[in-house]
């Protein structure tokens, strides 16, 4: 299941991020690839310990924590610090799968990757190629979003970034450990929460039907959550 969250970042927020990133010191992204992924990864990244990467990553984490659509879709328990990358001059990332367990030694933290997220920081007309291709039960889906938009997709899926043949594609990526690890259960909870939020406007604050749906939602969450 791919979920697109539009306008996670405003255009002004994207512009501020890009101004800072455009003057940053990109390094070869192959240094952070696994033993098999290194053969298919050609991009640039900011080191995780770079002060700028930490500053901008924390800003994105604050936005994620305040965004009701992200909270509902992910039920995030842990979030890997966002990684900033740049694809240009044919840069690409061939078909690969994300590591199931990701260790953050400086925080004594291990994150199980249930969901992967790509936050686009470049307008789609500014570069050619660079589509995120994620394999789903219904075939491969191509994603290329407006700057400030984010896509969530299963970390378990095979996916790739196609070569960028013009311009450059700048993104932030992160991985989420959900409080509900079962993807089918998480999707049902998301659909139920979307329905509750859609039905609530215009209803009385003590509407019994809304209260009953919220009751069902939280009992299902209580049943499926692992925290």
For residues 86-97, give the mean pLDDT. 94
- Point out the annotated binding site for 2-oxoglutarate: 169
pLDDT of amino acid 69 = 96
pLDDT range class, residue 37, cuts 50, 70, 90:
low
Q: In whole angstroms, how far apart are CA 222 and each of 39, 114, 201? A: 42, 19, 25
Helix (H, G, I), strand (E, B) or coil at 26: coil
Residue ranges and CATH numbers for the domains of the chain are 3-178 (2.60.120.620), 183-224 (4.10.860)
Q: What is the mean pLDDT of residues 8-31?
A: 90
Determine contact, residues 151/41, Cβ cutoff 8 Å: no
User: What are the pLDDT digits (tens) for 125-152?
Assistant: 999 999 999 998 888 899 999 999 999 9
- pLDDT by residue (tens digit) across 40-66? 889 999 998 899 999 999 999 999 999
Query: Are 65 and 73 contacting, i.e. CB atoms less than 8 angstroms apart?
Result: no
129 — alpha (psi -120 to 50), left (phi > 0) or beta? left
* Residue 63 CB neighbours (<10 A): 17
Task: Write down the pTM of the prediction.
Answer: 0.92
Mean pLDDT value across residues 164-171: 97
Minimum mean pLDDT range among 34-43, 91-100, 192-201: 34-43
pLDDT reported for residue 198:
95
Known binding-site residue numbers for Fe cation: 96, 98, 159
Going by the annotation, the residues of the binding site are 96, 98, 159, 169
Q: What is the rounded CA–CA span in Å between residue 172 and residue 85? A: 6
Q: What percent of the chain has pLDDT over 90?
A: 83
> Given pLDDT bands bounded at 50, 70 and 90, which one contains residue 115?
very high
Nearby residues of 3 by Cβ (< 8 Å), 6 or more positions away: 73, 151, 152, 153, 190
At residue 30 the predicted structure's pLDDT band, cuts being 50, 70 and 90, is: confident
pLDDT digits (tens, 9 = 90+) for 192-201: 999 999 999 9
Q: Name 219's Cβ contacts closer than 8 Å, sequence gap at least 6.
A: none
pLDDT band at 24 (very low <50, low <70, confident <90, very high): confident
35 pLDDT exceeds 80?
no
- What's the average model confidence in pLDDT over 83-87? 96
Please check the confidence at residue 32 and state whether its pLDDT lies above 80.
Answer: no
């Amino acid at each position: 299941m791919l979920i697109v969250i539009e306008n996670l970042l405003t255009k002004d927020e994207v512009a501020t991020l890009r101004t800072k990133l455009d003057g940053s010191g990109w390094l070869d992204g192959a240094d952070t690839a696994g033993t098999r992924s290194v053969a298919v990864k050609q991009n640039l990244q900011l080191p995780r310990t770079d002060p700028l990467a930490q500053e901008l990553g924390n800003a994105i984490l604050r936005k994620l924590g305040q965004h009701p659509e992200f909270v509902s879709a992910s039920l995030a328990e842990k979030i890997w610090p966002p990684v900033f990358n740049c694809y240009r001059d044919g840069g690409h990332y061939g078909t690969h799968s994300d590591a199931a367990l990701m260790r953050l030694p400086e925080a004594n933290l291990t994150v199980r990757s249930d969901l992967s997220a790509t936050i686009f920081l470049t307008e789609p007309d500014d570069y050619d190629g660079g589509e995120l291709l994620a394999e789903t039960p219904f075939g491969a889906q191509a994603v290329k979003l407006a700057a400030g938009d984010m896509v969530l997709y299963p970390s378990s899926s095979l996916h790739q970034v196609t070569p960028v043949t013009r311009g450059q594609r700048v993104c932030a990526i992160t991985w989420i450990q959900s409080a509900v690890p079962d993807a089918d259960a998480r999707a049902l909870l998301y659909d139920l929460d979307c329905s509750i939020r859609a039905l609530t406007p215009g209803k009385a604050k003590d509407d019994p039907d809304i209260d009953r749906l919220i009751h069902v939602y939280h009992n299902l969450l209580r049943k499926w959550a692992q925290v």
